[in-house]
Structure 1
Amino acid sequence: MATSGISRNSDVVKYYCCTICETERSVEVDADFYCKTCLKYFCRTCIHSHKQHRRWFNKKSPYGTDKIMKWPLSKKMETSLLTCVIHKGEKLTMYCTDHSHLCCSKCVELNHR
């Protein structure tokens, strides 16, 4: 599945969730489309109502998963990429040039003086 990945805890993480399902229904559903005009992600169900509500719908937008490289980085993905693997919950804030490694403050204190 192009929109999900395996987290460091071996749980499935939905990096791109349908904006409508998440905000209005409090459910995490994989996004299948991104609308660059609305700046929202849509699942297959919600994209149909989106198309009907937008008469001036641009055929180049939304982007499907085949053009996922054009999708912006989601907040969940950004958070996942900026979180320390060793000290879960700690943000990566520094780079150790000696070890070529991104570090959180705890890593620096323990291993990267």
Structure 2
Amino acid sequence: MAAKYYCCTNCEEERSVEIDADFYCKTCLKYFCRRCINSHRQHGRWFYKKSPYGKDKIRKWPLSKKMETSLLTCDIHKIEQLTMYCPDHSQLCCSRCVELNHR
């Protein structure tokens, strides 16, 4: 199962369920699935014609916390965060990688 980096904010907060987001509302700074975006529209929270962005404009979506965490986590030591850069190997490293491979 693929990781869900963009999850519907409402589904996560209200139902504790991870549903793939299909839209991002730059006005509300939230992600929405198809079900929740309809509710969002009906409650008059759609203020601008250019918001929300669908998946066709995903490059305009901000980096989600899950994606940020994934990008900053060491591929080798899954629970460690990347905190250092090794100029000799041109590589981001966690503290355990530094101890083992980058002295």
Whether contact under 8 Å (2:25, 2:53) holds in the other structure is yes
Q: TM-score, normalised by structure 1?
A: 0.88
TM-score (norm 2): 0.96
Of the candidates 52, 69, 92, which is equivalent to residue 62 of structure 1? 52
Instruction: Structure 2: give runs of 5+ residues left out of the alignment.
Output: none
Instruction: Specify which structure has the higher proportion of strand.
Output: 1
Tell me, what secondary structure is at the counterpart of 2:80?
coil
The match for 2:34 is: 44
Deviations 1:32-85 (A, max 9, x none): 000000000000000001001126631100000000000000000000000000
The aligned counterpart of 2:93 is 103
Root mean square deviation, CA, Å: 1.0
Tell me what 1:92 maps to: 82
Distance 1:56 1:103, change over 3 A: closer
Amino acid at match of 1:78: E
Report the equivalent of 1:7: none
Unaligned runs of 5+ residues in structure 1 are 1-10
Q: Give the count of matched residue pairs.
A: 103
Over 6 Å off, 4+ runs: none
| More displaced stretch, 56-65 vs 78-87 | 56-65
